[in-house]
Structure 1
Amino acid sequence: MRLFNRHDSWSRLDFFARLLAVMVAVGSLGPDHLTADEPPARKIDWRASGTGGAVSAGRSTEVVAAALDVLAEGGTAADAAATSLLGLSVTEHGLFASGGEVPLLIYDAKKKEVKVLSGLGRAPLDPRAIEWFYKNGIPSGGSMKSAPVPGMVHLVSTLLIRYGTVSFERAVRPTLAILDRKARDWHPRLAVTLRKLVEAERGAKGSRADKIAAARDRFYKGDIADELEKWYIQVGSFLRKKDLAAHRTPLEDPVTVSYRGYKIHKCGPWTQGPYLCQTLSLLEGYDLKSMGHFSADYLHTVVEALKLAMADRDEFYGDPKFVKVPLKQLLSPGYARMRRGLIDPKKASLKRRPGDPLAGRPLRGPLVASNRNYTIPVQDTTTCLAADRFGNVVAATPSCNLVGNRPGPPGVTQGNRLRSLNTTPGHPNRIQPGKRPRITLTPTLVTRKGKPVIAVSVAGGDLQDQVTLNVLLSHIDFGLAPHEAVVVPRFATGHHQGSFDPNPDRSAAFISRGGVTMHEGVPEPIRRELTARGHKLRVVGGAIAHPVMLVIDPKTGVVRGAGDPRVGRRVGVLSPLR
């Protein structure tokens, strides 16, 4: 049974898209819809298409507009992304912050390559701090003891130096305008800190890159670092100035897999990203299109593939600077073939089933999966995409995971990302001095014939790559446009360990044995069939995670973008199509 058959799929999808457009137009999905006094050469809405570049920046029309200004001035996607990230650290505070984390993928049109910037802070370098965590546990409910080194400022600086054309002062100008309105008590303090960076940039000699580096160094090595260290000591954080001074934003190669003629690019195993590649490798062995979009066979097959890939995520992933992750074996076609054979087409697995890639065996276990109520607080993430008219594309997933942490005297806010590590002896993601936590933040870039064609960013913790998979399959396998792919019903499994639970007993961190969260838009007969196959369904009416998507036509330069309007996502374009 199909949710959308060949004859009625497009009419139903068009009706849904038109209904959402009307809701946005009348303001029922938020106050930030397009206004009549905006320049005619741009459009900002939940969906937009244009030829002059595109930006999606969380839920903020103001930040999207500021980034479009940078593109209109001749800036690159990197310039627009840097402007967006600085702005989002204020407008999306709680989901992101100035002391947060930003994994980022960029396609460089000149070099014709995809690279990764790891804007992720590390654990403290002091071995005594690490000893404390092993003795007392990593706090999971909100604590500055769980704060990593702040990564955002270094990431933005590195992005501008390596791929940008504008100054830090230009990129931060819209953010300062927002802060100067003093809507929150910490806004003036952060404005002072950011203006110190501008002051350092103005006073430095040398190239544009040298000047941006001077601004960055004032934050990580100068008087701002002194102020941060004083705050760390006051609130009981283990971070010190030496941790700030040692911080870097590495430039890395992406993890890449081919799927139906496309190349999917993800950040490394210090994120959960590679498991999306593993899932696609499993699914390439199935004719999903013939199953029918949202048929019971389709949903069952995708969920079972996700379970297998996420079991490997939980078993093997960690910071590759500290642990040897067998990515070559995990992503090999032979391993995918072996693992594919574990999927029973008529029965949901209730076991945790990591593989044994080094021994060339499909199973390392299987292991018993626990079943419990997940009570660890999770504070979400935001989204950021940018594409320019020169062919450069950026995908980033900014976050901070605050969970109660408050801004310090410099106005900087840091989160709880160290709780994504654990204290399990021998585990690849156990906490060590200077180690990056294995995070859920996971942007996606897709190329075809060497050109960028898709960019995706999703907010939603462990749901992020599951929902990325939803929208990619809807587009690649079923031909849905971006504005359709981000609004059709979504689904995700809880059959995995929670990425925000540092419990040293990793079996106790398992969320939901056989659990599947599914939107009520999937017809009830299909849901009944999935239940009969053993899936433990939880049906919801709201959005499952928050996706945004750009699709680029490399021949025409047209960028089509969309973000789920039910959660207020915004996309802006220059030179919009009529």
Structure 2
Amino acid sequence: MKRCLLSTMLSFLFFSTIIAQPTQKPPLHGKHWMAITGKPLAATAGALIFERGGNAVDAACAMLAATCTMWDVLSWGGETQALIYNPNTGKVIAINALGVAPTGATPEFFKGKGYNFPPEYGPLAAVTPGTPGGLCYMLAEYGKLSLKDILAPAMDMAAGYPIDAQTANSIERGKERIKQWPYSKAVFLPHLGEEREAPEPGEIFVQKDLLATLQKMVDAEQEALKQGKSREEAIMAAYDRFYKGDIAEEIVRGNQEQGGLFTMDDLANWKPIEEEPLMTSYKGIDVYKLQEWTQGPALLQALNILENFDLKAMGYNSAEYIHTLYQTMNLAFADRDFYYGDPYFTPRPPIKGLLSKAYAQERAKLINPDRNDPNPQPGDPYVYEGTTNPFKSLLAQRQKLLADTSGLGELENFVPKHDAISALNGALEFDYATTASADSLYNDRLLRGTTSVEAADAEGWVVSITPSGGWLPACIAGRTGIGMSQRMQSFVLDSIIDPFNVVAPGKRPRVTLTPSMALKEGRPYLAFAVQGGDTQEQNLLQFFLNMVEFDMTVQQATEAANINSNQLWLSLGGTLFKDRMPRPGSILLSNSTDREVADRLKAMGYTVRQGNRTSGPINAIFIDEAHGSLWGGSSNNGEDYGIGW
């Protein structure tokens, strides 16, 4: 009892200290608008559009275009996922601009090449491009300006911009893979044959082919306007040129030349989808996520479970709080790993049952307050839909697979890519000499895979986007300058892992990408998103709780220490089962975590590692209704940046 009381007191003192301290980065303030994204130049692009009279959707599209052009761990051939609050209707809408598996992408095809999962890189890792279509759709339906206006900053950058060190060094590290693809080699390695073949930091990086592609889209729009077409029709004329015209022809030719499966029909038949988002209410706050083709509902499931606990009484990042979070996230991820997938294919995932409050109450009862559960299983949400689970026998087979870890002894110290270096820096259980190269590699892994775009304006438009795909080292499709997606790797090839996410032509993979939005009393409250693969939902859950339960400001919440669980199936990286399997009890804590807290967690069955960074860069906007202003928050790691006015 004394030990518990002491721990609670220490947690309270630690929490009080965190709240009292100033943040490393100042919070952003604005009255008219706020623009935040993954690169300073891209945030400037958003500011330029606002100053030209655009709304938050216009600014978000300009930032999206700029980040793709700057290879901010994504490219133009990737995918876009968005939530938009429309002040004219008072509703949150969802944009699904994720590409699909091309013709011939079947489990048999990939298994015939020796894979347990589709590959990480190259033309066979690509789903069809989604970002250009998503941008055009959002702009046409909800923006105010022309595509020419929106693409102007990105086209200026494609003509030549001073490349940042992070991107330039990432190109240099990945140059051997880049050399496998002729069009990528021509773009990324301007100093071929020299000791450093990538651009130098600060060098003017020119992308002539990409500039030509973007110019073709603008030309299509302007020609349509000359023909008397409406603004919306003209933007969609640019869309058609990308997906059905000469741009599509070159993407398909370049993909196939390098061994890919794209066909013209694959691009022409794909379309972005406007959807109803999913939502749950946590203590009077409505939290919105995209549908179950993303991992977004896992955050909603976690909030439903956590409603059954008094988190504030536990204390910020106390052992009890961390344990409760970890167990909750593992239950939500166990369901994610088996039940999530493309809802436009049958059978459709049982999302109604998964988001049931009654189901969450039953899941909460499974949490042992004293010990980690090393093998949490998916539940049975079908009971809460009034139907019978068709996959009971498959679940039993799956449990047996996970219980049999023979032959995995070499992976006892396995750490997923998202925290591979962080887990070693200052670790409790490792001797590791930190080096500049190790820090650089860690940062590259931490930031890999996506960025985030957040925008809001005085009219009431609020936008949260988590675009991704085509990150470095990227395979470029012919002479288009378009880096192709690598999202195919998020499919599975066996139903025993996830029967809803088995690859098939025309199907969307279940992705980690997850923009977030929250409304309070029917009004916008928060827009928030983060980079970081399987850690995204974990980081965003804690960010949200930091504000709602622990009264942090938006900037404090972005900088606060997180925990990461590796007790889940990885969505990215590795083509073998052993690369992806959950690591029971593996937890990443911040170096700032109290020693006693870490020791208590060890005693509860955790393998504890500590690092300097426990979250990808979180970007967020808090809509301060009481004062009629906007607060911006952007993590103190990475190059993410915001501008407000």
The verdict on a shared fold, with TM-score over 0.5 as the criterion, is: yes
The aligned residue for residue 637 of structure 2 is 566
Deviations 1:512-539, CA, capped at 9 Å, x for gaps: 1111111111111111111111111111
State the distance in 2 between where 1:153 and 1:425 align: 32
> Given that residues 142 and 403 in structure 1 are in contact (C-alpha distance below 8 angstroms), is that contact kept between their aligned partners in structure 2?
no
Give deviations 1:478-514, integer Å, cap 9, x for gaps: 1100111111211110000011257685x87313111
Q: Deviations over 1:224-278 (max 9, x none)?
A: 1111111012111101111111110000001100101101100011000001000
Structure 1 position 513 matched with structure 2 position 536: no
SS in 1 for 2:480: coil
Encode CA deviations 1:123-178: one digit per residue, 9 max, x unaligned.
Answer: 01x24766422433344241211100011100000000111111100000011111
Would the aligned equivalents of 1:519 and 1:544 in 2 still touch at CA under 8 Å?
A: no
Distance 2:65 2:338 in 1: 35
Alignment of 1:284-295 (within 5 A): 284-295=307-318
Match of 1:416 in 2: 486
2:604 counterpart (533, 556, 562): 533
Helix, strand or coil at the partner of 1:122 = coil
Q: 1:3 to 1:390 in 2, by over 3 A?
A: farther
1:280/1:182 CA distance change after superposition, 3 Å: closer
TM-fit CA distance, 1:448: 1.0
Alignment of 1:222-371 (within 5 A): 222-322=245-345, 323-359=347-383, 368=402, 370=405
Which residue, 563, 567, 570 being the options, matches 1:491? 563
Pair 1:208 & 2:231 matched:
yes
Contact between 2:105 and 2:503, CA under 8 Å: does it hold in 1? no
**What is the alpha-carbon root mean square deviation over aligned residues?**
2.3
Quick one: which of 454, 461, 469 aligns to 1:385?
454
Once the two structures are TM-superposed, the CA of residue 349 in structure 1 deviates from its matched residue by 0.6
Partner of 1:87: 66
In structure 2, the partner of 1:104 is 82
Query: Percent identity at matched positions?
Result: 29
Q: Which amino acid aligns with 1:120?
A: L
Which residue pairs with 1:65 in the alignment? 44
**Inter-partner Cα distance in structure 1 for 2:589 and 2:208:** 43
Question: 1:467 and 2:447 equivalent?
Answer: no
Within a 5 Å distance, the mapping from 1:18-97 to structure 2 comes to 20-21=24-25, 47-58=27-38, 60-91=39-70, 93=71, 95-97=73-75
2:366 counterpart letter in structure 1: L
1:157 maps to which residue? Answer: 136
User: Contact 1:123 / 1:149 at 8 angstroms: preserved in 2?
Assistant: yes
Please name the residue that 2:434 is paired with.
none
CA contact (8 A) 2:120 2:574 kept: no
> In structure 2, how many angstroms separate the alpha carbons of the residues matched to 1:344 and 1:224?
56
Q: 1:199 and 2:219 equivalent?
A: yes
1:457 to 515, 529, 536: 529
Q: 1:3 to 1:431 in 2, by over 3 A?
A: farther
Establish whether residue 117 from structure 1 lines up as the match of residue 95 from structure 2: yes
What letter is aligned with 2:301? Q
Contact kept, 8 Å, 2:107 with 2:502, in 1: the verdict is no
Tell me the residue number matched to 2:619: 548
Distance, in Å, in 2 between the alignment partners of 1:389 and 1:47 is: 18
Structure 2, gaps ≥5 residues long: 1-6, 164-186, 188-205, 419-444
Which residue among 142, 146, 150 is the counterpart of 1:167? 146
Tell me the TM-score normalised to structure 1 length. 0.89
Q: Secondary structure at the match of 1:105?
A: strand
User: Which residue of 2 is the match for residue 13 of structure 1?
Assistant: 19
Answer whether contact 1:518 1:538 (CA < 8 A) is retained: yes
Name the CA shift for 1:494/1:155 in 2 (closer, same or farther; >3 Å). Answer: same
Contact 2:588 2:614 in 1 (8 A): no
Report if the CA contact (8 A) 1:140-1:376 is conserved: no
Cα distance in 1 for residues equivalent to 2:18 and 2:287: 29
Which string of whole-angstrom CA distances, capped at 9 and with x for unpartnered residues, describes residues 272-318 of structure 1? Answer: 00010000000001110011111111111011000000000001000
Quote the residue 2:468 is aligned against: 399
TM-score w.r.t. the length of structure 2 is: 0.80
Deviating more after overlay: 131-140 vs 151-160? 131-140
Q: Which amino acid aligns with 1:412?
A: I
State whether structure 2 residue 512 is matched by structure 1 residue 440: yes
Q: CA deviation at 1:382?
A: 1.0
In structure 1, C-alpha distance between the alignment counterparts of 2:296 and 2:643, rounded to whole Å: 26
- Conservation of the 8 A alpha-carbon contact between 2:96 and 2:272: yes
Q: Are the structure 2 counterparts of residues 166 and 565 from structure 1 closer, same or farther at C-alpha, using a change threshold of 3 Å?
A: same
- Is the contact between residue 423 and residue 504 of structure 1 (CA under 8 Å) also seen in structure 2? no
Higher helix share: 2
